[in-house]
Amino acid sequence: MITDTSTPSGGYSRPDIDVRALTQVLDGEYAEIRELVRTNLVKHASVLEEAEELDIEAFRERVRELAVALAATGQTGMGFPKEYGGGGDIGASIAAFETLAFGDLSLLVKVGVQFGLFGGAILHLGTERHHRAYLPDLITGKLLGCFAMTETGHGSNVQALGTVATYDADSQEFVITTQGEGARKDYIGNAARHAELAVVFAQLEVGGRAEGVHAFVVPVRVDGAPAPGVRIEDAGRKMGLNGVDNGRIWFDGVRVPREALLNRFADVTPEGVYESPIENPGRRFFTMLGTLVQGRVSVGGGAINAAKVALAIAVKYAVRRRQFDAAPDTEEQLLLDYGMHQRRLLPLVARTYALHFAQDVVRTQLHEVFSTETGDEQERRELESRAAGTKALGTWHATRTIQECREACGGAGYLAVNRFAALKADSDVFTTFEGDNHVLLQLVAKGLLTNYAHEFEDMDQLGMVRFVTGQAVETVIEKTSVHKLLERVRDLLPGGDEWDQEAGLLDSEYQLAMVRFREEHMLAGLARRLKRGMDQEREPGAVFSHVQDHVIAVARVHVERLVLEAFVDRLRTLPDDDNKVALGLLCDLFALSTIEADRAWFMEHGRLTVQRSKAISREINDLCRKVRPLAVDLVDAWGIPPEMLRSPDLVG
Amino acid sequence: MITDTSTPSGGYSRPDIDVRALTQVLDGEYAEIRELVRTNLVKHASVLEEAEELDIEAFRERVRELAVALAATGQTGMGFPKEYGGGGDIGASIAAFETLAFGDLSLLVKVGVQFGLFGGAILHLGTERHHRAYLPDLITGKLLGCFAMTETGHGSNVQALGTVATYDADSQEFVITTQGEGARKDYIGNAARHAELAVVFAQLEVGGRAEGVHAFVVPVRVDGAPAPGVRIEDAGRKMGLNGVDNGRIWFDGVRVPREALLNRFADVTPEGVYESPIENPGRRFFTMLGTLVQGRVSVGGGAINAAKVALAIAVKYAVRRRQFDAAPDTEEQLLLDYGMHQRRLLPLVARTYALHFAQDVVRTQLHEVFSTETGDEQERRELESRAAGTKALGTWHATRTIQECREACGGAGYLAVNRFAALKADSDVFTTFEGDNHVLLQLVAKGLLTNYAHEFEDMDQLGMVRFVTGQAVETVIEKTSVHKLLERVRDLLPGGDEWDQEAGLLDSEYQLAMVRFREEHMLAGLARRLKRGMDQEREPGAVFSHVQDHVIAVARVHVERLVLEAFVDRLRTLPDDDNKVALGLLCDLFALSTIEADRAWFMEHGRLTVQRSKAISREINDLCRKVRPLAVDLVDAWGIPPEMLRSPDLVG
B256 within a domain of the structure (yes/no): yes
A255 within a domain of the structure (yes/no): yes
Q: Are strands B225-226 and A332-334 parallel, antiparallel or unpaired?
A: unpaired
**This prediction's pTM:** 0.93
Question: Given this model, what pLDDT does residue A480 score?
Answer: 57
Long-range contacts of the stretch B17-20 (C-beta < 8 A, 24+): B17/B578, B17/B579, B17/B582, B17/B630, B17/B633, B17/B634, B17/B637, B18/B577, B18/B578, B18/B579, B19/B633, B19/B636, B19/B637
Contact B337 A545 (CB under 8 A): yes
Q: Which candidate in B434, B519, B520, B560 is catalytic?
A: B434
Look at residue B498 and tell me whether its pLDDT is greater than 80: no
Contact B237 A433 (CB under 8 A): no
CA–CA gap between residue A645 and residue A649 (Å, rounded): 11
CA–CA gap between residue B406 and residue B400 (Å, rounded): 10
A239 within a domain of the structure (yes/no): yes
Contact (Cβ atoms closer than 8 angstroms) between residue B545 and residue B337 = no
Can you tell me whether residue B609 is helix, strand or coil? Answer: coil
Look at residue B340 and tell me whether its pLDDT is greater than 80: yes
A435 within a domain of the structure (yes/no): no
Residues 6+ apart with CB under 8 A from A212: A159, A203, A204, A281, A284, A285
B419 within a domain of the structure (yes/no): no
CA–CA gap between residue A576 and residue B430 (Å, rounded): 47
Look at residue A267 and tell me whether its pLDDT is greater than 90: yes
Cα angle B427, B430, B435; round to 5: 175
Closest residue in chain B to residue A343, using alpha carbons only: B549
Residue-wise pLDDT tens digits, B70-107: 999 999 999 999 999 999 999 999 999 999 999 999 99
Contact A236 B416 (CB under 8 A): yes
Residue-wise pLDDT tens digits, A44-69: 999 999 999 999 999 999 999 999 99
Chain B residues with CB under 8 Å of A244 CB are none
Compute chain A's Rg from CA coordinates. 26
Contact (Cβ atoms closer than 8 angstroms) between residue A365 and residue B579 = no
Residue-wise pLDDT tens digits, A495-534: 444 455 557 999 999 999 999 999 989 998 898 888 888 8
Contact B239 A407 (CB under 8 A): no
Partners of residue B212 on adjacent β-strands: B204
Residues 6+ apart with CB under 8 A from B526: B445, B449, B547, B550, B551, B554
Contact A541 B327 (CB under 8 A): yes
Interface test mutation site (partner A, options B329, B336, B340, B613, max chain A beta carbons within 10 A): B340
Mean pLDDT computed over every residue of chain A: 90
Judged by average pLDDT, the poorest of A92-101, B90-99, B276-285, B562-571 is B276-285
Most confident by average pLDDT, A276-280, A426-430, B276-280, B368-372: A426-430
Which residue from A332, A424, A541 is facing B333, i.e. has the nearest CB? A541
Question: CATH number for the domain including B167?
Answer: 2.40.110.10
B5 within a domain of the structure (yes/no): no
A421 within a domain of the structure (yes/no): no
Task: For chain B, report the end-to-end CA distance as a whole number of angstroms.
Answer: 22
Share of chain A residues as helix, strand and coil, in percent rounded to the nearest 5:
60, 10, 30
How many domains does one find in chain A?
A: 2
Question: Given this model, what pLDDT does residue B535 score?
Answer: 80
Residue-wise pLDDT tens digits, A303-362: 999 999 999 999 999 998 876 654 445 566 889 999 999 999 999 999 999 999 999 999
Contact A599 B600 (CB under 8 A): yes
Can you tell me whether residue A493 is helix, strand or coil? Answer: coil
**Residue B333 identity:** Q
**Residue A563 identity:** V
What value does the mean pLDDT take over residues B547-576? 96
Judged by average pLDDT, the poorest of A376-380, A637-641, B613-617 is A376-380
Size of interface A-B (CB pairs under 8 A): 215
Q: What crossing angle do the helices spanning A508-537 and A437-450 adopt, rounded to 10°? A: 90
Give percent of chain A above pLDDT 90.
74
Contact (Cβ atoms closer than 8 angstroms) between residue A381 and residue A422 = no
Contact A2 B537 (CB under 8 A): no
What value does the mean pLDDT take over residues A546-557? 93
Closest residue in chain A to residue B550, using alpha carbons only: A340
Q: Within 13 Å of residue B82, how many CA atoms lie on the same side as its CB? A: 4
The residues of A annotated with a catalytic role in the active site are 434
Question: CATH number for the domain including A587?
Answer: 1.20.140.10
Question: Given this model, what pLDDT does residue B454 score?
Answer: 52
What value does the mean pLDDT take over residues B581-604? 97
Can you tell me whether residue B446 is helix, strand or coil? Answer: helix
To the nearest whole angstrom, how far is the Cα of A404 from the nearest Cα of chain B?
Answer: 11
- ipTM of the prediction: 0.92
Question: Given this model, what pLDDT does residue A533 score?
Answer: 83
A607 within a domain of the structure (yes/no): yes
The most distant pair of C-alpha atoms in chain A lies apart, rounded to whole Å, by 91
Chain B residues with CB under 8 Å of A428 CB are 406, 414, 424
Can you tell me whether residue A439 is helix, strand or coil? Answer: helix
Q: Give the structural domain span for B572.
A: 460-636
Mean pLDDT computed over every residue of chain B: 90
Judged by average pLDDT, the poorest of A189-203, A624-638, B7-21 is B7-21
CA–CA gap between residue B120 and residue B290 (Å, rounded): 11
CA–CA gap between residue A91 and residue B218 (Å, rounded): 62
DSSP letters of A338-381? SHHHHHHHHHHHHHHHHHHHHHHHHHHHHHHHHH-TT--HHHHH
Residues 6+ apart with CB under 8 A from B511: B505, B564, B568, B588, B591, B592, B595
The most distant pair of C-alpha atoms in chain B lies apart, rounded to whole Å, by 91
Kindly indicate the confidence band of residue A649, based on its pLDDT and cuts at 50, 70 and 90. confident
To the nearest whole angstrom, how far is the Cα of B323 from the nearest Cα of chain A?
Answer: 7
Can you tell me whether residue B176 is helix, strand or coil? Answer: strand
Which residue from B239, B339, B540 is facing A414, i.e. has the nearest CB? B239
CA–CA gap between residue B399 and residue B411 (Å, rounded): 19
Q: What CA–CA distances, in Å, run from B398 to A292, B137, B310?
A: 36, 34, 9
Look at residue B561 and tell me whether its pLDDT is greater than 50: yes
3-state SS of A282-324 is HHHHHHHHHCCHHHHHHHHHHHHHHHHHHHHHHHHHHCCCEEE
Residues 6+ apart with CB under 8 A from B259: B129
To the nearest whole angstrom, how far is the Cα of B432 from the nearest Cα of chain A?
Answer: 6
Chain A residues with CB under 8 Å of B237 CB are 52, 415-417, 421
Kindly indicate the confidence band of residue B15, based on its pLDDT and cuts at 50, 70 and 90. very high
